[in-house]
Amino acid sequence: MKNSARLWFYFTVLVFSFAVAVSEQTFVYPPAQGDAKEISFYKAAPANWTAGRVSGQDVRNVIFCIGDGMGTNEIALARQKVVGQGGKLWMERLPIAGLVRTFAANHAVTDSAAAVTAMACGVKTKNGTIGIGTDNKTYASILEVLSKKGWRTGLAATSSITHATPAGFASHVSSRGSEEEIAEQMFNNRVDVLFGGGRKFWLSAGSHGSNLLIAAQRAGYYIVQSREEMMKLTSGPVLGLFADNGMTTFAPEPSLAEMTQKAIALLSAKNKDWFVPEPKFFLMVEGSQIDWAGHANDTDNSIRQTLLFDMAVREAIEFARMDRSTLVIVTADHETGGLLLPEDKNNASKVAADWNFKSHTGADVALFAYGPGAEEFAGVMDNTDIPKKIAKLTGVSPFPQEQPKMKPQISQSAPIK
């Protein structure tokens, strides 16, 4: 009896430890720092893995993943590297695919600001402009309208969190470079989870020269600045700033996949201290630096950044598959670098990377979708159609809609650190 009790004890300990080990298995960076060739972090999907289809559910959550500068050839190049030409990345395993046109109001080739205005607010605008139409009207983003309906909201990126793409979901500025103004608007918008770089824009931001980190803390935000602090969070709202400007995307920073996983956990949590009866959330995740690799014509880094993004997409898919009421959309704002894939001169069974520009191109981009309503995203569409479809699926009408002027909410002027 005594022995069997002891056995039970050991058995329980073993099972418990295993459960803890499984639940804590997180995406860990390779130790090598600054080496774009190091991609051992990538975990491919099992050969026969499919996401399946979901029908008959309402859309309760939306996870919108944007690979900045991620053209179809950038995807194909990363695919060849890790799963071979016949394989599929995680994003490519989603059941619905579409093709998206990216042109801006005044340019055939868009920048990220005009592209995000299209994808967040549903209107075309001039390059460089965020959240404001060519008619000079301010248009609400899909995040802002869902926030007004009581949804929790989140943004995660590997650039500064005030960079054009995340900015387009929570701010309205005539010039994308106004990152301090964008930080203030993001704060006033009370986005629940903000993970990324760009700490410096929050330290000095604000029309009163306020330190927005202090203002955010006073408003009830957790402020985290390291991976360890982020991992410990069990509740939002949170402002997580892990670099002064763009992130390095190397340890010890959190990875985009980890930021995505934590953001989803916080936004979907039913915490008493952050209570909403039925949490619904909108989360935008950006693989910001695929674009930067394209501008630099850096093949290794283009592959690495695309794979880092794909691991974040995997987090979104894994949550959505369990939840079954989450719509996951994966697309790009534009292509960068004019990447072509000619046959490799040394190995005819492979393609080589041939970069043609240091800038963006007007190529169409792919879109992948999973979850309730994903079928809406099949076929050829304009980038402005994406938020219109999300609005339709989440009961937002009309859309696009004008955004009422935001009142400045920072009353106390905090000392500048």
- Per CB under 5 A, residues contacting Zn ion are 291
**Closest approach of Cβ 336 to Zn ion, in Å?**
5
Closest CB to Zn ion among residues 110, 178: 110
Q: What's the rounded Cα separation, in Å, for the pair 60 and 393?
A: 9
Displacement of CA 10 from its chain's centroid (Å): 42
Task: Number of helices (H) and strands (E) in the chain: give both, helices first.
Answer: 13, 14
CA distances from 14 to 1, 2, 23, 24, 398 (A): 20, 18, 14, 15, 55
For 267, the token pair is 């936004």
Closest CB to Zn ion among residues 333, 385: 333
Q: What's the rounded Cα separation, in Å, for the pair 144 and 140?
A: 6
For 211, the token pair is 């330190």
**Closest approach of Cβ 33 to Zn ion, in Å?**
24
The residue behind tokens 């330290």 is 203
CB-closest chain residue to Zn ion? 291
For 327, the token pair is 């719509």
Q: What's the rounded Cα separation, in Å, for the pair 130 and 185?
A: 12
**Closest approach of Cβ 301 to Zn ion, in Å?**
14
Closest CB to Zn ion among residues 258, 291: 291
255 included as an active-site residue? no
Say if CB 339 and CB 293 are below 8 A apart: no
Burial class (CB in 10 A: 0-12, 13-18, 19+), 29: buried
**Closest approach of Cβ 231 to Zn ion, in Å?**
31
Helix segments in 108-150, DSSP class H: 112-121, 142-148
Closest CB to Zn ion among residues 189, 299: 299
**Closest approach of Cβ 100 to Zn ion, in Å?**
17
In the chain, helix, strand, coil percent, each to 5? 35, 20, 45
Q: Report the SS3 class of residue 61.
A: strand
Closest CB to Zn ion among residues 180, 291: 291
Considering the candidates 112, 160, 171, 302, report the single residue annotated as catalytic. 112
Q: What's the rounded Cα separation, in Å, for the pair 249 and 69?
A: 17
Closest CB to Zn ion among residues 359, 409: 359
Closest CB to Zn ion among residues 291, 376: 291
**Closest approach of Cβ 357 to Zn ion, in Å?**
11
**Closest approach of Cβ 279 to Zn ion, in Å?**
34
Amino acid identity of residue 205, one-letter, is A
Q: Considering only CA atoms, which of 164, 166, 163 is closest in space to residue 129?
A: 164
| Residues with a known catalytic role | 112
